[in-house]
Chains A and B, each alone.
Chain A
Amino acid sequence: MSIYSNWSSYQKEIAEDKFYYARSCIRQNFFPGSEKAFLNILSKNLGKDILDDPLHTSCSGIAYHADILPFETTMTMVARQFAMMTEAGYENFVSSCITSFGIYSEVLETWHHFPEKEAQIREMLYKATKREFKIPQNVAHTSDIIFKFREGIREKGVNKLVNIHTGEPLKGVEHIGCHYAKVFPSKGIGGSEFPYVLAGMIEAWGGTVVDYPERRHCCGFGFRNYLVKANRGYSVSNTKRKLESMAPFQPDFILANCPGCSMFIDKWQYTLKQMDGVVYGQKAIPVLTYEELAGLVLGYDPWELGMQMHEVDVEPLLDKMGIKYDSSKKYEGVNGKKIGQPQRWEGCGKL
């Protein structure tokens, strides 16, 4: 029998409490409120212990996948992350980025099969930093944590994924991202064929999941694709293929798992409008991170969640959910300082 037998009911082990948090390199620029929201949801709404450690670094995944760093360097950087976790007294590692999550899984799998590699990296880390580390008890992606506590979020929630005008559940497209479960199927809820991590959230919070033909297709992000301008057409073509396939279903929002996917599915909609003149959906389709969606359910202010930084405006979705927001505050920063307005296009609520 194949190793790919039925994954549909597959669940992975996720720790209950006491998390060491590792941030993503790019999310703070493109979806700046998401990571803050995650920390707030976990510590304030759910009462969990989570450490946001300023001492940790990038996992170096971007450089690794772009063939800039050798694997040994990446492994040593990962070892340092684990050392920071160990020194802080934590054992459950949570990564806010699926590429990092893929990197951590890959490094741990490598050490599992090649213990001499682990020994070598331990030595390299010690020589460079005098630090030592313990292997984490549990490595999870942030969406795994939100998934685990989805029922609790629903219970504490004030908003539902229901269209308040029609009473119908909102239709969500979910996109899990390649490095979440396509690298190691057993590291993702439902494996790579029955991804349930985001679908489970949408369903728990009252929405329905759109099952469209290109559901499992990659967004096209790919480090080698978008980093080199000449290859960027490849990246946008893949997102286009997905958007074309999902558009007839008229989804109310897209929920993405990966920093790259959420960024590109959002921003390519603008690019495609400018390039081909095509808008998918009535006024483009808002793209959300799972923290943003959880935040909306829990009643967070959309601008506090950083949703003004999206290329596609989220107001149509907020209106459907019946969420109040102050349009005049949209482009005000924390101290009321104007943060500047983006160029208007058809993906915006009003031109």
Chain B
Amino acid sequence: MYDIIIIGGGVAGMQAAIAAKKLNLEPIILEKENKLGGKVAHKYSLFPTFSSAEQLIDRLEAQIIENKIDVRYHCEVVSIHKEELSVGYTLNVGDIKKVDNLQARSILITTGYEPFDARIKQEYGYQVYDNIYTSMDLEAMMKKGLILTKEGNTPESIAFIHCVGSRDSQIGNEHCSRVCCVTGVKQATELCQMIKGARVYNFYMDMRMFGSGYEEMYKEAQQNYQVRFIRGRVSELSQTIDHKVRLKAEDTLISKPIAITVDMVILLVGMCGAVNNESIGESAGLELRENGLFKPVNAFDSTTKSTVNGIFYAGCAESPKNISESMNQASQAILNISTYLESK
């Protein structure tokens, strides 16, 4: 029997598996995709260093292989049996779906997050109008090295809209997703680097530069890249006849309504709970936060512990985090699991 089932092979799950091995525990990762790395694997670069996301995943993956950690791919966990400490999952290979379950001595939930579905914020016209993309879409474009409008032109003006699906009672997401602000600064800087003479705007409510080096990035974007920061939440978007996008907001610092037409709009989408959080939570009697993420025993010294014995959390499955926080919490979770297993 495995010591720990790790649900989700993103950065938190990978770090947890590696840490477990260091403590001579036997983990297994159940990953729903066909590769490790989770959301980070879909990113082009990482803030605040602009280093490659791929390199980080490669480094972690090398340790997974070196430590001979078991990984099962295409496994989508849908439930947890809390007395047995077993997980129910479906194995999705091609069109074939196989239902199975796996028991272990403990379970670590590292299911990460689901990006906010920008279509819900209808006034922003995502997938209705052309040339409106999410921050996830932009990372994919950057990975390909091709930033093009739908018509195949290099955009000369780009506007970022902050807090899409975060801090918004209208769509039921009260929380701050934390990393979108800095993602906006990172992506704005990169667009200025990639596209000579690009005019880049950030429409924000508050700039929350919480991490080490983030404020410096913000200053750099303002000073060296002339990214224009406008304090106002965008009220609505519309399409112009030449397939550009027209934004309306208030420039709250001068108390006047403001409008601008840009070639491309990037929606900085927030974090929501992973798709199966609800079914997992319900089956195991775990408490979910209003935003669909898991609620730990307390917010200070037990952020990795659930209210159920033997079930633990790490990474964005528990609350919105950046990469280093997710990985640190994963290590912390393994320490808590080790203590728990010894006490049994």
Contact = CB atoms under 8 A, between A and B. Distances in A.
A213 B240 CA distance: 6
Contacts of A248: 240-241
A213 B246 contact: yes
A230 interface: no
Contacts of A6: 122
A156 B169 CA distance: 48
A34 B106 CA distance: 75
Contacts of A214: 238
A277 B27 CA distance: 77
B interface majority secondary structure: mixed
A8 B127 CA distance: 15
Given A6-B122, A193-B122, A211 B170 contact: no
A212 B172 contact: no
B171 interface: yes
A141 to B, nearest CB: 24
A1 B172 contact: yes
B332 interface: no
* Most interface-central of B170, B172, B240, B241 (chain A CB within 10 A): B241
Interface in A281-323: none
A75 B171 CA distance: 37
A212 B239 CA distance: 7
Interface string A1-21: 110101010000000000000
- Interface residues of A toward B: which range? 10 to 19
Contacts of B123: 193
A75 B246 CA distance: 42
A149 interface: no
A43 B79 CA distance: 62
Interface in B161-178: 169-172
Nearest to B119: A6
Nearest to B244: A213
A4 B122 CA distance: 10
Contact of B170 (A2, A8, A193): A2
A interface majority secondary structure: loop
Interface in A213-250: 213-215, 248-249
B245 to A, nearest CB: 9
B239 A2 contact: no
Contacts of A1: 171-172
Nearest to B129: A211
A247 to B, nearest CB: 9
B331 to A, nearest CB: 38
A193 B122 CA distance: 9
B116 to A, nearest CB: 14
A25 B245 CA distance: 40
A6 B121 CA distance: 10
Interface in B325-342: none
Contact of B238 (A2, A4, A213): A213
B235 to A, nearest CB: 11
Contacts of A211: 238-239
Interface in B198-253: 238-241, 246
Contacts of A215: 238
* Most interface-central of B169, B172, B238 (chain A CB within 10 A): B238
B239 A213 contact: yes
Interface string B276-316: 00000000000000000000000000000000000000000
A285 to B, nearest CB: 15
Nearest to B168: A2
A4 B169 CA distance: 11
Contacts of A4: 170
Nearest to A213: B238
Contacts of B172: 1-2
Nearest to B246: A213
Nearest to A194: B122
Contacts of B171: 1-2
A212 B238 contact: yes
A213 B238 CA distance: 5
A215 B237 CA distance: 12
A4 B123 CA distance: 11
Contacts of B170: 2, 4
Nearest to A3: B170
B169 A2 contact: yes
A248 B244 CA distance: 13
Nearest to A246: B241
Contacts of A2: 169-172
B158 to A, nearest CB: 18
Interface string A174-198: 0000000000000000000100000
A211 B240 CA distance: 9
B247 to A, nearest CB: 10
Contacts of B241: 212, 248-249
A213 B172 CA distance: 27
Contacts of B238: 211-215
Contacts of B240: 213, 248
Contacts of B246: 213
A8 B246 CA distance: 22
* Most interface-central of A212, A213, A215 (chain B CB within 10 A): A213
B171 to A, nearest CB: 7
A215 B246 CA distance: 12
Contacts of A249: 241
Interface in B118-175: 122-123, 169-172
A210 B123 CA distance: 17
A172 to B, nearest CB: 15
Contacts of A8: 122
Interface string B240-269: 110000100000000000000000000000
B172 to A, nearest CB: 5
B295 to A, nearest CB: 20
A269 B171 CA distance: 40
A107 B122 CA distance: 31
**Nearest 3 CB-CB pairs, A to B?**
A213-B238, A2-B170, A248-B241
Given A1-B171, A213-B240, A249-B241, 8 more contacts: A1-B172, A2-B171, A8-B122, A211-B238, A212-B238, A212-B241, A213-B246, A215-B238
8 contacts: A1-B171, A2-B169, A8-B122, A212-B241, A213-B246, A215-B238, A248-B240, A249-B241
